[in-house]
Amino acid sequence: MENRIEKIKKQLHSQSYKLTPQREATVRVLLEHEEDHLSAEDVYLLVKEKSPEIGLATVYRTLELLSELKVVDKINFGDGVSRYDLRKEGAEHFHHHLVCVECGSVKEIEEDLLGHVEKTVESQWEFQVKDHRLTFHGICKNCQSEHD
């Protein structure tokens, strides 16, 4: 945890930003709930538990900054809510998601399945790909077995 905080701190410094206590509180919540795909409001409620003096606007601005700096990725699973997802250490691309339409569970695939697709896009459309989003909507294994 401290290690990851230190790395994020350096990442901010390299772009001339400071990891202020408010920003650090937000980053800690994201690290503690790495698997959770929290919305800004979720993050705010968790930050507030430990640091009641931090307001929603501050948390919101911090999340926007972190997404600009590519510390987090902003994602929308089609329910109109922006969620914030920490980028995995050293990841070149944003990991893929499997969203269950029945129970709402979200699984992550870290392996990049789109390398080949990116090459096609680059050569056919002369478009330089920087990143991509891939979300599958379907029925998870648990929900499938409930149907049996």
Residues engaged in binding Zn ion (CB under 5 A): 85, 100, 102-103, 105, 108, 140, 143
Please tell me whether 93 is known to bind a ligand. no
Alpha-carbon torsion (109, 113, 118, 119), positive or negative: positive
Please tell me whether 100 is known to bind a ligand. yes
Buried b (16+ CB within 10 A) or exposed e, 92-106: ebbbbbbbbeeeeeb
- Which of residues 54 and 93 has its CB atom nearest to Zn ion in the complex? 93
- Which of residues 19 and 99 has its CB atom nearest to Zn ion in the complex? 99
Q: Quote the CA–CA distance of 4 and 106 in Å, as a whole number.
A: 23
- Which of residues 34 and 53 has its CB atom nearest to Zn ion in the complex? 34
**Nearest distance, CB of residue 136 and Zn ion, angstroms:** 12
Tokens found for residue 109: 């695939």
**Nearest distance, CB of residue 59 and Zn ion, angstroms:** 19
Tokens found for residue 11: 């990442």
Annotation: binding site for Zn(2+): 100, 103, 140, 143
Annotation: binding site for Fe cation: 132
